[in-house]
A and B are shown apart, each in its own frame.
Chain A
């Protein structure tokens, strides 16, 4: 039960799985209303939902504007989402980690 694969391989494999799910599988996802929206419809308060403030962004609704093939449009939105999420989280945590090390008085990693 020791580590069976190197960290780099593990991360690359995990990312490939995420990209596959987002690009290939997400166009197959159910488009039925989710649990909350179904309850809102059934119990009569779905009409109180307002249009999203950012509904005009180029990727609103998991569709890339200008890509007319629905499946490709959603798949591309998935790729964009996975990439942006990875970049934001990686960036955020790299900054947070540096602040933690600075507070602890450790030298910043990679500094010369």
Chain B
């Protein structure tokens, strides 16, 4: 979903750039209060992992591919503020080193793929956590579904950007319909990858998963105990 230079006009791209800078500044401030040594290391790994998986375009219908965006995955693992920063670093590296995603469109891409997914998708994750059982399975299912919906949300935000400053004169309704249609399919891939990854981390280091920290309550003895898990 990396927007190249030219799809969206300069004023709209600049406005998105301002939103992205503001969003990143807020994230940096919040991250400063939340980071401990463990989280610095985990955030680095999260960003590196997302970069790698973003290279793995998987085929979806009719000559089209899709890849992980990773915002919900990052938010579930390290929280939405640090998570959005992880994806922002990935997008910046892709743009500056690999010419993937336009330089003038970097703000648009940070808004759509880092901020919308890490915050919008994470809100969906939190809602699902309330609806689904308070278990490891509930966390995995919530991550998967929220990440899928996060991709669709990002495709809707692109459509809004195209409506404001799109070039090439395509009708907004057809662009929106086509974007949502294909990103529902890509979202399924996103959901599977996110669910599998969260599940793997929960199986080895459950204490590191930000979105599952309510499953632990520090017992009086001091050792973390799992609550509410039927397993």
| Chain A interface residues toward B at CB < 8 A | 1-5, 7, 10-11, 13-15, 17-19, 21-22, 25-26, 28-36, 38-40, 42-55, 57, 59-62, 74, 77-78, 80-86, 88-90, 92-94, 96-97, 99-100, 103-104, 109
Query: Residue of B at shortest CB range from A91?
Result: B44
From 205 to 221 in chain B, residues with beta carbon under 8 angstroms from any chain A beta carbon are 205-208, 215
Cβ contacts under 8 Å, B42 to chain A: 11
Cβ contacts under 8 Å, B90 to chain A: 85
Q: Does chain A have a CB within 8 A of B45?
A: yes
In addition to A17-B49, A50-B5, A97-B40, 5 A-B residue pairs with Cβ atoms within 8 Å of each other are A29-B57, A48-B7, A50-B4, A54-B103, A96-B31
Cβ contacts under 8 Å, B174 to chain A: 43
Given A26-B55, A57-B99, A59-B97, decide whether A49 and B45 contact each other with a Cβ distance below 8 A.
Answer: no
Given A33-B63, A35-B1, A43-B175, decide whether A85 and B224 contact each other with a Cβ distance below 8 A.
Answer: no
From 115 to 172 in chain B, residues with beta carbon under 8 angstroms from any chain A beta carbon are 136, 155, 158, 166-171
Contact of B55 with A109 in the complex, beta carbons under 8 Å = no
Q: Does chain A have a CB within 8 A of B15?
A: no
Contact of A97 with B59 in the complex, beta carbons under 8 Å = no
Cβ contacts under 8 Å, A52 to chain B: 4-5, 99, 102-103
Contact of A2 with B224 in the complex, beta carbons under 8 Å = yes
Contact of A100 with B32 in the complex, beta carbons under 8 Å = yes
State A103–B55 Cα separation when bound (angstroms). 38
Cβ contacts under 8 Å, A54 to chain B: 95-96, 99, 103
Question: Shortest beta-carbon distance, A72 to chain B, in Å?
Answer: 14
